[in-house]
Amino acid sequence: MGRWLGALLLLTAAGVLIGSRMASWPLAAALGALFLAYATILTWARRRRYVYFAPSEVLLDDPPPGAGLDMAGLIPIRASGWFTVEGKRQYYVDLDADYQTVPSREHIVLARVYPSRFLLLGRWLEREIGWWYIFFEPAMVRQTQIGRLHFGARPRPALQLTYSAGVKMQETIQVTFDNLATLKQVWADLIVDAPSGTVSAN
């Protein structure tokens, strides 16, 4: 959709110039400026990974030691970050997902991309459809923060987590929740055995 809109602006500006034989150059210049502004915003958004996480003081009491999830529980969330499956790696934003901690204490984010399309202009690529995962163990956690994630019409309660994904390599994921109660539940589970110094409530 981003490519379609950019191409439309550029072609419209060119069409105005060609069709009017330069008589409407102010309109073409305005359209050109609009295209440049759009390209700048798109580049900025891509560098920000299309989301903005703001650490924030929220009403969040420290959970008691040992608090955590039922090991078999699946917690509905929305997640943004790098997902993998069968050797493939893909960055997704705001996917419908679930959070789970298995008995070995490995944390898992499970997300599914469903086939969808927007009018006749855009649709999910076939290779991106299906189940995608993020796996990390407590010892891999480098930082957890509570705040709000800005994506869409309104910010939502969120948890940002940075974890080690290999030698000299770290990944950051953002997980959003419908309410603070669910955020507390997942945060409590994460900090039970996270390395000291990695937890921040704001």
The DSSP-derived string for 149-187 is: EE-SSS-EEEEEEEEEEETTEEEEEEEE-SSHHHHHHHH
Residues 140 and 175 occupy one common structural domain = yes
The pLDDT score that the predictor gives to residue 140 is 92
Least confident of 57-61, 96-100, 196-200: 57-61
Domain count, the chain: 2
Residues 6 and 70 occupy one common structural domain = no
Max Cα–Cα distance, the chain, nearest Å: 74
Residues 133 and 194 occupy one common structural domain = yes
Residues 41 and 59 occupy one common structural domain = no
- Looking at per-residue pLDDT, the higher value among 43 and 144 belongs to 144
Residue 56's domain comprises: 52-200
pLDDT for residue 7 is more than 90? no
Look at residues 31, 47, 63 and tell me which one is the last residue of a structural domain.
Answer: 47
Q: What is the mean pLDDT of residues 76-91?
A: 92
The pLDDT score that the predictor gives to residue 19 is 59
The pLDDT score that the predictor gives to residue 148 is 87
pLDDT for residue 66 is more than 80? no
Residues 39 and 102 occupy one common structural domain = no
Look at residues 27, 47, 67 and tell me which one is the last residue of a structural domain.
Answer: 47
Residues 77 and 30 occupy one common structural domain = no
Model pTM score: 0.71
Residues 63 and 155 occupy one common structural domain = yes
pLDDT tens digits for range 153-189: 678 899 999 998 877 789 999 999 988 888 888 988 8
pLDDT for residue 132 is more than 90? yes
CB 139 within 8 A of CB 39: no
Residues 67 and 153 occupy one common structural domain = yes
The pLDDT score that the predictor gives to residue 36 is 64
Q: How far apart are CA 166 and CA 147, in angstroms?
A: 26
CB 107 within 8 A of CB 101: yes
Amino acid sitting at position 119: L
The pLDDT score that the predictor gives to residue 168 is 76
